[in-house]
Structure 1
Amino acid sequence: WKRWMMPRAVTLRSWSPRPRGAHRNPRRRPPPSRFEPFLEDAPEARSPTVPSRIPTLASLSRSPPSPLVRFQLPNVLFAYAHTLALYHGGDDALVSDFCATLLGVSGALGAQQVFASAEEALQAAAQVLEAGEHPPGPLGTRGAMREAARILMGEGPADQKGYTLAALGHLAQTLGRARKQAVATEERDRLYRARKKCQFLLAWTNENETALMPLALDCARAHRAHAVAAEEVAALTEELERLWGGPLPPAPRILIEELPG
């Protein structure tokens, strides 16, 4: 969500998602088509947009959603921010790699993980990056946490869900493109499940806008805690290096040497 990404990326402070149903040129607005693909945007769209049609939760599930559903969002948005920055928006040539990284970092999308808090959801994604299983990317762990919080905050009280809806819509669309390119049945099924999860989260977000600010604040607190911990580690490392006279501890000295008999 930075200016230096591909045009599809979003700049939070200077760009807002186009509202549902909005078109670049209202005079040439095409007639609605009942055959329009779900979550498809116009080919010329260059930034994530709020999908023109969002299903209701009732149409996707007969059971009420779990109260833990909300904690899927920080995990998904962390992975989205990381992957978007890593691939500079992700064009068609990189869509397979984009989705492989996305599903690898987001346990909610790639492994159907469930989280009990926003902090747990963020830490799960952060641990994947810190373990070196995927490239760190320009944002790093703290940067991805920060961007997840910004997306959840939206533009403010007047439109808090817009950024999250645009991000989830972009993900669902990208996962759909990747599924069309995939050959292996197992991979196609995995992408299908991830896309369905994004669509469910899209519907949930659309109907639960008031839950986003508490999530954003939880993400901001987790980001600050992670930053403080990193600063403490850096300070300790600096002090040890000062005592050692370098990045490595000195070789142990022999205090007592046994003389040959």
Structure 2
Amino acid sequence: KDWVLPKRFMMLKATTRGRAGTDRAPGRRPFPTLPPLSVEPVLGAPPGAPPPAVPTRIPALASLSRGRTSPPVRFPPPPPYAHTLALYHGGDEALLSDFCATLLGVSGALGSQQVFASAEEALQAAAHVLEAGEHPPGPLGTRGAMREAARILLGEGPANQKSYTLAALGDLAQTLGRARKQAVAPEEGDRLYRARKKCQFLLSWTNENEDALTPLALDCATAHRAHTVAAEEVAALTGELEQLWGGPLPPARRTLIEELPG
């Protein structure tokens, strides 16, 4: 199946090459291959909207953190971002509040400062929120969000892998900053501020740890595959039951032994 990515990312190839130290050193591990990328217009930004660009200034990670970065904070939030971006057609400014509410609701790392022990745990947490129906379902679905997250993390390819992730995190930081200026409740403003700071930190971390993106992308692809297999098994079992029942619902229970009155 083709990969569907919001249209605003399709223009990145012309805007990100050569920025933020995108040259890749030789001797890297083989780069995963993915199915061809396609675009559905409904998922794109409004006509004429510029694509998110890689920030021209990214602070050094050392200026944001004194010690070594702890592994649990190294999981960028592409799945919630992909879901929210597709749901709100690329981030319509009129829906800024809804966009951020959904994003922070789906992303535990951004919305409630949750700390995950692994990428798999972070993905499962986001999947649980999406499947529980706590937020509007998007056109990608849970599996689609994981699939597109892997595509964002893999970027343009070995020569410029981090470009999409940097653009996504930069776009998130700007979006959260605009939403914070519009926030009325102080607690909501504080929540948006913390989420923005987390995105800025991840932006610096990603810029200096491009090698870590491929394992994260593979984690997303593995989670996508597992959800696909599970969905296929459920569909097969449902089909067998419907065939047995003769319809989508089981037949009403029949009374085998009826007690006689008195």
The TM-score bracket by the shorter chain reads 0.7 to 0.9
- Match in the other structure for 2:66: 62
Q: Is structure 2 residue 185 aligned with structure 1 residue 187? A: no
Number of the residue aligned with 1:160: 161
Structure 2 length-normalised TM: 0.84
Asked whether the equivalents of residues 13 and 156 of structure 2 are also in contact (C-alpha less than 8 Å), the reply is: no
Secondary structure, aligned partner of 1:88? coil
For residue 16 of structure 2, what is the aligned residue in structure 1?
18
Displacement of 1:18 after TM fit?
A: 2.5
| C-alpha separation in 2, matches of 1:114 and 1:172 | 19
The Cα shift of 1:10 comes to 1.4
Q: What is the CA–CA distance in structure 2 between the aligned matches of 1:235 and 1:126, rounded to whole Å?
A: 22
Which digits, 9 at most, give the CA deviation of each residue in 1:230-254, with x for residues without a partner?
A: 0000111111111111111111111
Aligned equivalents of 1:202 and 1:136: distance in 2?
A: 27
Question: What residue identity is the alignment partner of 1:238?
Answer: G
- Describe how 1:80-119 pairs up with structure 2 within 5 A: 80-119=81-120
Write out per-residue CA displacement over residues 19-67 of structure 1, whole angstroms, 9 at most, x where no aligned residue. 438xxxxxxxxxxxxxxxxxxxxxx970011000001111111121102
Unmatched tracts of structure 1, length 5 or more: 22-43
Q: Identity over aligned residues, as a percent?
A: 78
Change (3 A) 1:65 1:242: same
Q: Distance in 1 between matches of 2:123 and 2:14?
A: 25
Distance 1:163 1:235 in 2: 37
Aligned length: 232
Alpha-carbon separation, structure 2, partners of 1:131 and 1:47: 31
SS in 2 for 1:250: coil
Instruction: Give secondary structure in 2 for the equivalent of 1:68.
Output: helix
**Could you tell me which amino acid in structure 1 is paired with residue 70 of structure 2?**
S
Aligned to 1:39: none
Partner of 1:51: 55
Give the 3-state SS of the residue equivalent to 1:258 in structure 2: coil
RMSD of the alignment, in Å?
1.9
**What letter matches 1:50 in structure 2?**
V
Q: Distance in 2 between matches of 1:66 and 1:197?
A: 13
* CA deviation profile, 1:152-171 (whole Å, cap 9, x unmatched): 11111111111100000000
Contact 2:4-2:148 within 8 A present in 1 as well: no
Are the aligned partners of 1:2 and 1:10 in contact in 2 as well (CA < 8 Å)? no
- The answer to whether the 8 Å contact 1:54/1:203 transfers is yes
